Amino acid sequence: MVTQRANAIADRVERFVRDVVIPYEADPRARGDHGPSDELLHAMRDKARAAGILTPHILPDGSHLTQRETALVLIRSGLSPLGPLAVNTMAPDEGNMYLLGKVGTPAQKAHFLEPMVRGEARSAFFMTEPAAEGGAGSDPSMMLTTAEPDGDAWVINGRKAFITGALGAGIGIVMAKTAQGATMFLVDLPDPAIRIERVIETIDSSMPGGHSVIAIDNLRVPADRILGAVGEGFTYAQIRLSPARLSHCMRWLGACIRANEIATDYANRRQAFGKPIIDHEGVGFMLADNLIALKQSELMIDWCAGVLDSGSLGTAESSMAKVAVSEALMQVADRCVQVMGGTGVSGDTIVEQVFREIRSFRIYDGPTEVHKWSLAKKIKRDWKAARA
């Protein structure tokens, strides 16, 4: 159930994004070499803090909005690609805050979580590894990064890839293989043992710090910085990943709602062959299809959020939502570009950026094909179980 409280927060977030954040889209700091600059991020967060809507999905007592309430807020924050950065609902921080809130000790929350909630520090989640080396990607069981005990500490070695926001992050969660299984470690950043080899050139550009290839050489982590229990890293990854997948859907739904607003305005103003182009069926029908797809995405998110709110891990449901929403939004973004023609592929509006971001979203947090493969395995398991 979505409460009056959540509606009020969402309305305030939307007003802030539309009135304060959207003008920053023209700021040169929004289009750095590897995403928006941290200078811009903190300038926007100062205003969000003053407006009382920084980290709006986490309440003053530390409790979270429900997933259905969170959807209402994160969709509004996504109305600008800069919105999640400004109000502190962006990836990977939102997912990392969620995980720390669920698993972290009081001391870990005080040291790592609270600065993130206050919007003072960005974070990075170090799990994916270079494909050329046979490391973990969509299959985390292939992890090559190791952690070995050494007295009252652990020593971590390995390489990571596509680590979002590592450049400029103050907090890291490092996943490594131990004798007991995958384990998560909390680290302060920067650390000389964690070296950024390069920031990868990618088609998306909304994440501060971009996506980096990382070398980890003899990183020493005290035992009290283990997140949760040794060997339970994959379990905690599932606690984090299902809500994080859905949060991506929420934010990018907001972006596509805005892109569709821009395309709709363009179609009503642009004249061709004696009338506004929206009156040509080829254009009007595309916008009608967008309206349908946006509503389907909204309903899919709400359904999956309800499953998570029931206490279920929602692994299959979040896979279904990720596939359905990312594929639908890809079509929405593509149609917005097509409706706007040359303007749609220019930097004059955010439409071309949203198109690029959604194309990346179809891969991040699990490609469509991996989620379908996982769902097919579940179908087979359920079929066998029904006949046992």
- Each domain of the chain, given as residue ranges in start order, spans 4-90, 123-231, 234-386
Mean pLDDT computed over 299-322: 96
Reported as a single tens digit per residue, the pLDDT across 312-362 is 999 999 999 999 999 999 999 999 999 999 999 999 999 999 999 999 999
pLDDT of residue 120: 97
- pLDDT at residue 36 tops 70: yes
What is the CB neighbour count within 10 angstroms for residue 149? 12
Pairwise CA distance, residues 76 & 136, whole Å = 33
Position 239 scores a pLDDT of: 86
b/e for 13-51, b at 16 or more Cβ within 10 A? bbebbeebbbebbeeeebebebbbbbebbeebbebbbeb
Q: Which CATH number fits domain 234-386: 1.10.238.10, 1.20.140.10, 2.60.120.460, 1.10.600.10?
A: 1.20.140.10
- The answer to whether the beta carbons of residues 336 and 290 sit under 8 Å apart is yes
pLDDT for 154 beyond 90? yes
**What is d(CA 359, CA 372) in angstroms, rounded to the nearest whole number?**
17
Per-residue pLDDT tens for 165-224? Answer: 999 999 999 999 999 999 999 999 999 999 999 999 999 999 999 999 999 999 999 999
Percent of the chain with pLDDT over 70: 100
CATH number for 123-231: choose from 1.10.10.60, 2.60.40.10, 2.40.110.10, 1.10.10.10. 2.40.110.10
* Radius of gyration, alpha carbons of the chain: 21
Q: What is the number of other CB atoms lying within 10 angstroms of the CB of residue 202?
A: 17
Share of the chain above pLDDT 90, in %: 91
pLDDT of residue 1: 67
The confidence band for 115, taking pLDDT boundaries of 50, 70 and 90, is very high
Instruction: State residue 331's pLDDT score.
Output: 98
pTM: 0.95
